[in-house]
Amino acid sequence: MFAMLGHLLPYADTVFHSRQVSTLLGEVPRLPPGVLTDEFARELLDLGQRVLDGEHLYLWFLGD
């Protein structure tokens, strides 16, 4: 159901390349209300779009 978001771990770093980011951007709007704040969702979508618009860019999530 959430192929990319399901791979995020709170205590590990996760890196997505552009194809994974494309999938991730489709998952964010389908999340149930309250899972992400509106501000965080907008920022995540913006950062993901930057990855797609650039070359050799990755989206990094840093764990604790």
Q: Would residue 4 count as lying in a domain?
A: no
Alpha-carbon distance 5 to 21, whole Å? 10
Alpha-carbon distance 33 to 47, whole Å? 21
**What is the domain range of residue 38?**
13-61
Q: Would residue 18 count as lying in a domain?
A: yes
Q: Is the pTM of this model over 0.95?
A: no
Q: Would residue 23 count as lying in a domain?
A: yes
Alpha-carbon distance 9 to 49, whole Å? 22
Could you report the per-residue pLDDT of 5-49, keeping only the tens digit for each? 999 999 999 999 999 999 999 999 999 999 999 999 999 999 999
Q: Would residue 2 count as lying in a domain?
A: no
pLDDT given at position 64: 87
Q: 3-class DSSP state for residue 14?
A: strand
Q: How confident is the model at residue 1 (pLDDT cuts 50, 70, 90)?
A: confident
Q: Which two tokens stand for residue 24?
A: 């991730």
The number of folded domains in the chain is 1
Q: Would residue 54 count as lying in a domain?
A: yes
